[in-house]
Amino acid sequence: MIALVLALAGTGCVHTSAPIAVPFPPVVAPAPVAYPVGLRILRLHRGPDRPLPTLVFYPAAVRLPVRAAVPPAPGRFPLVIFCHGLSGSAPRYADTLADWAAAGFVVAAPTFPHTSEFTDDFERPDIVNQPADARFVLNAVARLNETAGDPLWHRMDTDHLAAIGHSAGGYTTTGLFTAGHDPRLRAGVIMAGWGAKGAFAGPPATMLFLQGKADPIVPVASSRRLFSRVPWPKSYVLMRRDSHATYLRPGDIGYDTMNSLVIDFLRWTLDGDTAAWSGLPPMEYPQLSVQ
Protein backbone atom coordinates (compact mmCIF):
# COMPACT_ATOMS: atom_id res chain seq x y z
CA MET A 1 0.00 0.00 0.00
CA ILE A 2 1.35 3.41 -0.92
CA ALA A 3 1.54 5.64 2.17
CA LEU A 4 0.37 9.09 1.16
CA VAL A 5 -0.66 11.90 3.43
CA LEU A 6 -3.09 14.22 1.69
CA ALA A 7 -4.13 17.60 3.01
CA LEU A 8 -7.87 18.06 3.17
CA ALA A 9 -9.26 21.23 1.68
CA GLY A 10 -11.32 23.58 3.77
CA THR A 11 -14.70 21.88 3.95
CA GLY A 12 -16.88 24.55 5.46
CA CYS A 13 -17.86 22.06 8.16
CA VAL A 14 -18.56 24.15 11.21
CA HIS A 15 -21.00 24.00 14.10
CA THR A 16 -24.03 25.83 12.78
CA SER A 17 -26.17 25.51 15.89
CA ALA A 18 -26.10 24.12 19.38
CA PRO A 19 -25.00 20.49 19.20
CA ILE A 20 -27.76 17.92 19.27
CA ALA A 21 -27.49 14.33 20.40
CA VAL A 22 -25.56 12.04 18.06
CA PRO A 23 -27.21 8.67 17.30
CA PHE A 24 -26.11 7.33 20.69
CA PRO A 25 -23.89 8.77 23.43
CA PRO A 26 -20.23 8.17 22.64
CA VAL A 27 -18.25 6.17 25.15
CA VAL A 28 -14.58 5.38 25.42
CA ALA A 29 -13.92 2.21 23.43
CA PRO A 30 -11.00 -0.22 23.82
CA ALA A 31 -7.87 0.41 21.79
CA PRO A 32 -8.41 -0.62 18.13
CA VAL A 33 -7.33 -4.12 17.15
CA ALA A 34 -6.27 -5.24 13.66
CA TYR A 35 -8.01 -8.55 13.01
CA PRO A 36 -7.28 -11.26 10.47
CA VAL A 37 -10.10 -11.35 7.91
CA GLY A 38 -12.47 -14.09 6.83
CA LEU A 39 -14.76 -14.16 3.80
CA ARG A 40 -18.11 -15.73 2.96
CA ILE A 41 -20.04 -15.61 -0.31
CA LEU A 42 -23.83 -15.58 0.04
CA ARG A 43 -25.99 -16.43 -2.98
CA LEU A 44 -28.88 -14.11 -2.20
CA HIS A 45 -31.87 -13.39 -4.46
CA ARG A 46 -34.57 -10.76 -4.14
CA GLY A 47 -36.86 -12.39 -6.64
CA PRO A 48 -35.97 -14.57 -9.66
CA ASP A 49 -34.56 -11.71 -11.75
CA ARG A 50 -32.61 -10.04 -8.93
CA PRO A 51 -29.66 -12.21 -7.95
CA LEU A 52 -27.52 -10.48 -5.33
CA PRO A 53 -24.28 -12.42 -4.78
CA THR A 54 -22.84 -10.89 -1.65
CA LEU A 55 -19.33 -10.93 -0.23
CA VAL A 56 -19.23 -10.85 3.56
CA PHE A 57 -15.90 -9.94 5.14
CA TYR A 58 -15.59 -10.36 8.90
CA PRO A 59 -13.02 -10.19 11.71
CA ALA A 60 -11.50 -13.65 12.02
CA ALA A 61 -10.11 -15.60 14.95
CA VAL A 62 -6.90 -16.70 13.22
CA ARG A 63 -4.99 -15.91 10.06
CA LEU A 64 -5.18 -18.69 7.48
CA PRO A 65 -4.10 -18.78 3.80
CA VAL A 66 -7.71 -19.28 2.64
CA ARG A 67 -10.04 -16.60 4.04
CA ALA A 68 -13.15 -18.72 3.53
CA ALA A 69 -11.91 -21.29 6.04
CA VAL A 70 -11.41 -18.87 8.93
CA PRO A 71 -13.76 -18.91 11.94
CA PRO A 72 -15.02 -15.51 13.18
CA ALA A 73 -13.25 -13.74 16.01
CA PRO A 74 -14.99 -13.76 19.41
CA GLY A 75 -17.12 -10.71 20.14
CA ARG A 76 -19.82 -8.78 18.33
CA PHE A 77 -19.01 -6.47 15.42
CA PRO A 78 -21.18 -3.75 13.82
CA LEU A 79 -22.60 -4.56 10.38
CA VAL A 80 -21.81 -2.34 7.38
CA ILE A 81 -23.07 -2.60 3.80
CA PHE A 82 -21.09 -1.31 0.79
CA CYS A 83 -22.81 -0.41 -2.51
CA HIS A 84 -20.76 -0.25 -5.71
CA GLY A 85 -21.24 2.20 -8.58
CA LEU A 86 -22.16 1.74 -12.23
CA SER A 87 -20.09 -0.97 -13.97
CA GLY A 88 -18.55 -1.90 -10.62
CA SER A 89 -18.88 -4.96 -8.41
CA ALA A 90 -18.17 -6.12 -4.89
CA PRO A 91 -15.10 -8.21 -5.90
CA ARG A 92 -13.47 -5.12 -7.41
CA TYR A 93 -13.23 -3.59 -3.92
CA ALA A 94 -12.36 -6.75 -1.99
CA ASP A 95 -9.10 -5.40 -0.55
CA THR A 96 -10.83 -2.25 0.68
CA LEU A 97 -13.69 -4.19 2.25
CA ALA A 98 -11.16 -6.47 3.93
CA ASP A 99 -9.39 -3.44 5.43
CA TRP A 100 -12.68 -2.34 7.02
CA ALA A 101 -13.30 -5.83 8.35
CA ALA A 102 -9.79 -5.89 9.82
CA ALA A 103 -10.76 -2.73 11.72
CA GLY A 104 -13.56 -4.60 13.49
CA PHE A 105 -16.63 -4.58 11.23
CA VAL A 106 -18.67 -7.17 9.36
CA VAL A 107 -18.85 -5.79 5.81
CA ALA A 108 -21.48 -7.05 3.35
CA ALA A 109 -21.13 -6.07 -0.31
CA PRO A 110 -23.67 -7.16 -2.93
CA THR A 111 -23.12 -7.05 -6.68
CA PHE A 112 -26.24 -5.54 -8.21
CA PRO A 113 -27.98 -7.46 -11.00
CA HIS A 114 -28.32 -4.91 -13.81
CA THR A 115 -25.62 -2.27 -13.24
CA SER A 116 -22.48 -4.30 -12.50
CA GLU A 117 -19.47 -5.05 -14.66
CA PHE A 118 -20.67 -8.66 -14.97
CA THR A 119 -24.17 -8.12 -16.33
CA ASP A 120 -25.16 -8.89 -19.92
CA ASP A 121 -28.13 -6.50 -19.79
CA PHE A 122 -26.78 -3.29 -18.32
CA GLU A 123 -29.65 -0.98 -17.36
CA ARG A 124 -28.66 2.29 -15.76
CA PRO A 125 -32.26 3.18 -14.77
CA ASP A 126 -32.32 0.05 -12.62
CA ILE A 127 -30.54 1.97 -9.86
CA VAL A 128 -34.00 3.00 -8.62
CA ASN A 129 -34.47 -0.64 -7.53
CA GLN A 130 -31.14 -0.89 -5.74
CA PRO A 131 -32.07 0.68 -2.39
CA ALA A 132 -34.56 -2.18 -1.95
CA ASP A 133 -31.82 -4.63 -2.96
CA ALA A 134 -29.44 -3.15 -0.40
CA ARG A 135 -32.12 -3.23 2.31
CA PHE A 136 -32.82 -6.87 1.50
CA VAL A 137 -29.12 -7.78 1.74
CA LEU A 138 -28.63 -5.87 4.97
CA ASN A 139 -31.58 -7.65 6.57
CA ALA A 140 -30.54 -11.06 5.24
CA VAL A 141 -27.03 -10.75 6.65
CA ALA A 142 -28.32 -9.34 9.95
CA ARG A 143 -30.58 -12.38 10.34
CA LEU A 144 -27.52 -14.63 10.41
CA ASN A 145 -26.77 -13.14 13.81
CA GLU A 146 -29.89 -14.91 15.13
CA THR A 147 -29.47 -18.13 13.13
CA ALA A 148 -28.23 -20.84 15.47
CA GLY A 149 -25.41 -22.83 13.89
CA ASP A 150 -24.43 -20.13 11.40
CA PRO A 151 -20.77 -19.09 11.70
CA LEU A 152 -21.87 -15.48 12.32
CA TRP A 153 -24.39 -16.44 15.03
CA HIS A 154 -24.01 -13.88 17.83
CA ARG A 155 -20.97 -12.36 16.10
CA MET A 156 -22.66 -9.18 14.86
CA ASP A 157 -23.84 -6.07 16.66
CA THR A 158 -27.02 -5.60 14.63
CA ASP A 159 -28.16 -2.67 16.77
CA HIS A 160 -25.53 -0.52 15.05
CA LEU A 161 -25.63 -0.58 11.23
CA ALA A 162 -24.03 1.64 8.59
CA ALA A 163 -24.15 2.01 4.80
CA ILE A 164 -21.40 3.16 2.44
CA GLY A 165 -21.75 3.81 -1.28
CA HIS A 166 -19.75 5.22 -4.17
CA SER A 167 -21.24 7.08 -7.15
CA ALA A 168 -24.47 5.25 -8.11
CA GLY A 169 -23.82 3.24 -4.96
CA GLY A 170 -24.02 6.56 -3.13
CA TYR A 171 -27.47 7.01 -4.66
CA THR A 172 -28.35 3.51 -3.45
CA THR A 173 -27.07 4.36 0.01
CA THR A 174 -29.11 7.56 0.29
CA GLY A 175 -32.14 5.46 -0.66
CA LEU A 176 -31.68 3.49 2.56
CA PHE A 177 -32.18 6.67 4.61
CA THR A 178 -35.79 7.43 3.71
CA ALA A 179 -38.91 7.86 5.84
CA GLY A 180 -39.50 4.87 8.08
CA HIS A 181 -36.01 3.43 7.67
CA ASP A 182 -34.64 1.04 10.27
CA PRO A 183 -33.53 3.13 13.28
CA ARG A 184 -30.60 0.76 13.76
CA LEU A 185 -29.09 2.32 10.61
CA ARG A 186 -26.98 4.85 12.46
CA ALA A 187 -24.50 6.15 9.88
CA GLY A 188 -23.89 6.62 6.17
CA VAL A 189 -20.89 7.44 3.96
CA ILE A 190 -21.62 8.99 0.56
CA MET A 191 -18.65 8.96 -1.82
CA ALA A 192 -19.26 11.09 -4.93
CA GLY A 193 -22.92 10.14 -4.92
CA TRP A 194 -26.27 11.72 -5.65
CA GLY A 195 -29.59 11.53 -3.87
CA ALA A 196 -32.46 9.08 -4.17
CA LYS A 197 -36.04 10.34 -3.98
CA GLY A 198 -37.06 10.90 -0.38
CA ALA A 199 -33.52 10.63 0.96
CA PHE A 200 -32.64 11.91 4.44
CA ALA A 201 -35.93 11.36 6.20
CA GLY A 202 -36.95 9.22 9.13
CA PRO A 203 -34.78 8.53 12.19
CA PRO A 204 -31.63 10.70 12.27
CA ALA A 205 -28.30 9.22 11.26
CA THR A 206 -24.82 10.71 11.07
CA MET A 207 -23.51 11.26 7.52
CA LEU A 208 -20.02 11.63 6.05
CA PHE A 209 -19.53 12.92 2.49
CA LEU A 210 -16.27 12.32 0.58
CA GLN A 211 -15.75 14.18 -2.68
CA GLY A 212 -12.84 14.45 -5.09
CA LYS A 213 -12.14 18.05 -6.07
CA ALA A 214 -11.40 17.07 -9.70
CA ASP A 215 -14.40 14.75 -10.12
CA PRO A 216 -15.80 15.19 -13.68
CA ILE A 217 -18.75 12.85 -13.12
CA VAL A 218 -20.23 14.18 -9.88
CA PRO A 219 -19.17 17.85 -9.61
CA VAL A 220 -18.36 19.37 -6.26
CA ALA A 221 -21.33 21.74 -6.55
CA SER A 222 -23.68 18.79 -7.01
CA SER A 223 -22.42 16.90 -3.97
CA ARG A 224 -22.53 20.06 -1.86
CA ARG A 225 -26.18 20.58 -2.81
CA LEU A 226 -26.90 17.03 -1.71
CA PHE A 227 -24.98 17.61 1.51
CA SER A 228 -27.06 20.73 2.21
CA ARG A 229 -30.23 18.59 2.20
CA VAL A 230 -29.10 16.46 5.14
CA PRO A 231 -30.91 17.60 8.32
CA TRP A 232 -28.74 15.45 10.61
CA PRO A 233 -25.17 15.55 11.98
CA LYS A 234 -22.90 15.60 8.95
CA SER A 235 -19.43 16.33 7.63
CA TYR A 236 -18.16 17.10 4.12
CA VAL A 237 -14.58 16.33 3.08
CA LEU A 238 -13.18 17.67 -0.19
CA MET A 239 -10.13 15.67 -1.26
CA ARG A 240 -7.89 18.05 -3.17
CA ARG A 241 -5.97 15.65 -5.39
CA ASP A 242 -8.73 13.18 -6.19
CA SER A 243 -11.10 12.58 -9.08
CA HIS A 244 -14.18 10.35 -9.17
CA ALA A 245 -12.57 7.06 -8.18
CA THR A 246 -8.96 7.71 -7.21
CA TYR A 247 -9.35 6.77 -3.55
CA LEU A 248 -11.29 3.50 -3.52
CA ARG A 249 -8.61 0.81 -3.60
CA PRO A 250 -5.19 0.30 -1.98
CA GLY A 251 -2.53 2.08 -3.98
CA ASP A 252 -4.89 4.82 -5.20
CA ILE A 253 -3.69 8.34 -4.55
CA GLY A 254 -6.31 9.11 -1.93
CA TYR A 255 -6.82 5.65 -0.48
CA ASP A 256 -5.02 6.15 2.83
CA THR A 257 -6.99 9.31 3.53
CA MET A 258 -10.32 7.73 2.62
CA ASN A 259 -9.63 4.55 4.55
CA SER A 260 -8.60 6.38 7.71
CA LEU A 261 -11.64 8.67 7.59
CA VAL A 262 -14.11 5.84 7.00
CA ILE A 263 -12.70 3.63 9.75
CA ASP A 264 -12.61 6.48 12.27
CA PHE A 265 -16.16 7.48 11.30
CA LEU A 266 -17.46 3.93 11.74
CA ARG A 267 -15.65 3.51 15.04
CA TRP A 268 -17.19 6.71 16.34
CA THR A 269 -20.75 6.27 15.10
CA LEU A 270 -21.05 2.52 15.63
CA ASP A 271 -18.62 1.75 18.46
CA GLY A 272 -18.79 5.06 20.34
CA ASP A 273 -15.01 5.45 20.13
CA THR A 274 -14.30 9.04 21.21
CA ALA A 275 -10.64 8.73 20.24
CA ALA A 276 -11.74 8.07 16.64
CA TRP A 277 -14.12 11.05 16.81
CA SER A 278 -11.24 13.36 17.72
CA GLY A 279 -9.55 12.55 14.40
CA LEU A 280 -12.55 13.37 12.22
CA PRO A 281 -13.28 16.67 10.43
CA PRO A 282 -15.69 19.08 12.16
CA MET A 283 -19.34 18.08 12.11
CA GLU A 284 -22.33 20.27 11.35
CA TYR A 285 -25.30 19.83 13.66
CA PRO A 286 -28.42 21.22 11.96
CA GLN A 287 -31.38 21.81 14.22
CA LEU A 288 -33.52 18.70 13.89
CA SER A 289 -37.26 18.54 14.05
CA VAL A 290 -38.88 15.55 15.72
CA GLN A 291 -39.90 12.97 13.07
Where in the chain are the domains? 37-277
Q: pLDDT of 97-113, one tens digit each?
A: 999 999 999 999 999 99
Lowest mean pLDDT among 67-71, 80-84, 285-289: 285-289
Residue 10 is classified by DSSP as P
Q: Read off the amino acid at residue 117.
A: E
Q: What is the mean pLDDT of the chain?
A: 88
Contact 153, 146 (CB under 8 A): yes
Query: What does the pLDDT read at residue 31?
Result: 53
Is residue 14 over pLDDT 70? no
Residue 103 or residue 11, greater confidence:
103
Q: What length is written for the chain?
A: 291
Neighbours of 5 (CB within 10 A): 7
CATH architecture of 37-277: 3-Layer(aba) Sandwich (3.40)
Which residue in 16, 24, 19, 20 sits closest to 186, CA to CA? 24
274 by DSSP, 3-state: which? helix
Burial of 4 (0-12, 13-18, 19+ CB in 10 A): middle
Q: pLDDT-derived band of residue 69, with 50, 70 and 90 as boundaries?
A: confident
Q: pLDDT-derived band of residue 91, with 50, 70 and 90 as boundaries?
A: very high
Contact 195, 167 (CB under 8 A): no
Q: pLDDT-derived band of residue 289, with 50, 70 and 90 as boundaries?
A: very low
Is residue 179 over pLDDT 80? yes
Residue 10 or residue 133, greater confidence:
133
Is residue 79 over pLDDT 60? yes
Instruction: Give the integer Cα–Cα distance in Å for 8 and 226.
Output: 20
Query: What does the pLDDT read at residue 142?
Result: 98
Is residue 5 over pLDDT 90? no
In this prediction the pTM is 0.88
Query: What does the pLDDT read at residue 9?
Result: 28
How, if at all, do strands 37-45 and 51-59 pair?
Answer: antiparallel
